[in-house]
Structure 1
Amino acid sequence: MELIELVKKHAPVTGEQLADYIGVSRPTLRSDFSLLVMLGLLDAKPKVGYFLGNAYRGMDNSETRQRFDHMKVAEIQGVPVNIPDTLSVHDAVITLFTENADTLLIVNEDKKFVGIVTPKDLLKITLGNAGAASIPVSMVMTRFPNIVTLVSDDSVADAIRKMILHQVDCLPVITSVDESGQGPEVTGWVSKSNIIRLMSDITAAEELGEQGL
């Protein structure tokens, strides 16, 4: 992760300085900074700049870092919230609230992964559209394969890189597409919450180790 390495080398460093190092504008990195701070990999102080966060410092020894580098998505993925592609927008909104989900994964009648729908997608279709509630989610979802995904054997580090690169909060974990051309099945998902929980566990374990517990 280029940003983290730059912060490690130059901390404390401002967002403008980091943007100059990479050769992009400061607004381009805004979502990257937000995610890395949320994950605890970076921390920031007003008028000071960015520096390494507690989660990164917890991994900053060879044993912990090696364990993290070899950790697979299968070890942290959560249970997906799947809905059928025939479900109405109205029922999809209800599912978002009842399941406390940020993203809904859409499957067809054969239980194959066909797309995702987010609160933003649902809001767009319902605003000023009296009949929107009865529209099936298949009409508003983002369709596979135009979706960033993971497989269970991907590394957690790759999942974080994809989240940062594509500026997404959730990544579906799917099976490989088989030779028959059938779509993949959903096996789980990785969200910011999964990553944050992992970072917290690593930091806590490191602190206990330092205390000799």
Structure 2
Amino acid sequence: MRILLVEDELEMAGALSAALLRHDMVVDHVTTIAHAMQAARGELHDAIVLDRHLPGGDGLTLLATWRANGLSTPVIVLSASGELDDRLSGLDGGADDYLAKPFAVEELVARLRAVLRRPAALQAEVLKVGTLHFESAHREARVGATPLDLPRRELLVLEALMRRRGRTVLRDALEEAVYGFDDAIQSNALDTHVSRLRRKLDEAGCDVEIHTIRGVGYLLRQRP
């Protein structure tokens, strides 16, 4: 899952980013309304965490612009004020959830999972291709009843390929699913993740294979 974090307090942003990464989420962090507008334009993200008080304006004004432009991505608003009127203005303004500071990072993670479980936000609770299963809510993959022990980036590669099963996924699209804006990407990093993932699927006796479409990307499908 890919999260856009709009937060100008760098210490808090660092703590939130680290926590979300531990829960297999790719985090793109921006600090201003202008950068947030640009980052959300491509609708790359599964959810947005938006601080209400930002340099240059109110996060709710930005949220209203997003909704007016048709952005349907779930948004959780963060604010230093938890008064009822503030919460209502946030929810009425297009937020899917509202969280007052200070809060436990674990609560934000739980709320993100909740909005991502909603039908509009989550394409499928359980993705299935042959004997391969991926549970989006719990971030778990298995072959039949056997769990797959996959590190975060391999899990993200698998999820992206399973969501587009039977279709070629371009390298650029896979890298967007696996890496954040600020991540340094080595030229062969994606190929390494795919190679390790392919080997683990084979070792587990999976009836799904990952094809390399040379110079284009990858394709996941069930073996005939």
- Which structure shows the bigger proportion of residues in helix conformation? 1
User: Does TM-score exceed 0.5, indicating one fold?
Assistant: no
- Which structure shows the bigger proportion of residues in strand conformation? 2
Mark the structure with the bigger radius of gyration: 1
**TM-score normalized by the length of structure 1:** 0.29
**TM-score normalized by the length of structure 2:** 0.28
